[in-house]
Amino acid sequence: MIYFDRVSKVYSPTSIALDGVTFAVEPQEFVSLVGQSGAGKSTLLKLLLAEEKPSDGKVFFESLDVHELKKREIPAVRRRMGIVFQDYKLLPTKTAYENVAFAMEAAGKTEEEIKQDVPQVLELVGLMDKAWHFPSELSGGEIQRVAIARAIVNRPDLVVADEPTGNLDPINAWDIIKLLEKINELGTTVMLATHDKEIINTLKRRVITLEKGKLIRDEKRGRYVL
Ligand code: ADP
């Protein structure tokens, strides 16, 4: 599903963000990406999302060379990836329901489909009772649930979560991780970038560790050792 083939990203001679990184992710895996600040996690995700181009090497998503795509082809490919950020990025003037519905409208879905799928996905993340609340009326954990609902509503093959628990207390953070596990069990590949040692050590899933742009460890049931 994802294949990084000797990928390097050099922003400037003194800023080598990724250095010869190679790994593959199979469909339905749950992979955590760890590393200290500056290790290259965000750069790796940006290359996958075609927001940046590699200086060397190739990035494949479902056998497509991401950086050979034409500009107009990129949105359709990105729609096959659901993205969750640390800082939510919900629209403040829309309710939970409307934020999720908006992602479906943007993907060209019909009214029928929207009416059917939005309640289903809000139910899945446990927020149906707050469907008509605005982000300002929701807690951090609830907002992140809406963001996850929005990321999965178009049934992506992959969910990319970049520090999704960064702004949450430990209890809410766990709920978000459990939700990502549930989504994974339902058949979606999950790629989680995190700093959180507790989470990594409890998940006991595959862990890819970056250090100064190099992939230094790739373990099936990894632990966070930095
Ligand atoms: P992480 O997400 O693990 O904190 P990043 O991918 O953000 O790491 O950064 C990796 C390295 O690349 C850092 O040294 C950072 O300063 C550098 N870097 C990231 N983005 C840019 C950019 N746009 N221009 C120059 N250097 C960058």
Per-residue pLDDT of the chain (226 residues; tens, 9 = 90+): 999 999 999 999 999 999 999 999 999 999 999 999 899 999 999 999 999 999 999 999 998 999 999 999 998 899 899 999 888 789 999 999 999 999 999 999 999 999 999 999 999 999 999 999 999 999 999 999 999 999 999 999 999 999 999 999 999 999 999 999 999 999 999 999 998 888 988 898 999 999 999 999 999 887 776 6
The backbone region for 203, taken as left when phi is positive above 0, alpha when psi lies in -120 to 50, beta otherwise, is alpha
Of the CA atoms within 13 Å of residue 113, those in its CB half-sphere come to 13
Give 111 Cα–ligand 1 centroid separation in angstroms.
Answer: 41
Cα 55 to ligand 1 centroid, rounded to whole Å: 14
Pocket test for ligand 1, best of 4, 15, 224, 226 (most atoms within 8 A of CB): 15
Say if residues 48 and 54 touch (Cβ distance below 8 Å): no
CA of 17 to the centre of ligand 1 (A): 6
**Nearest CA, atom 11, ligand 1:** 17
Euclidean distance between CA atoms 191 and 99, whole angstroms? 23
Q: Residues enclosing ligand 1, CB less than 6 A?
A: 11-12, 15, 17, 35, 37-43
Beta-strand runs (E) in 54-101 = 56-61, 64-65, 81-84
Question: For residue 124, how far is its CA from the centre of ligand 1 (angstroms)?
Answer: 35
Question: Which residue CA neighbors atom 7 of ligand 1 most closely?
Answer: 42
Question: Quick one: which of 143, 195, 190 has its CA closest to 166?
Answer: 195
CA of 43 to the centre of ligand 1 (A): 6
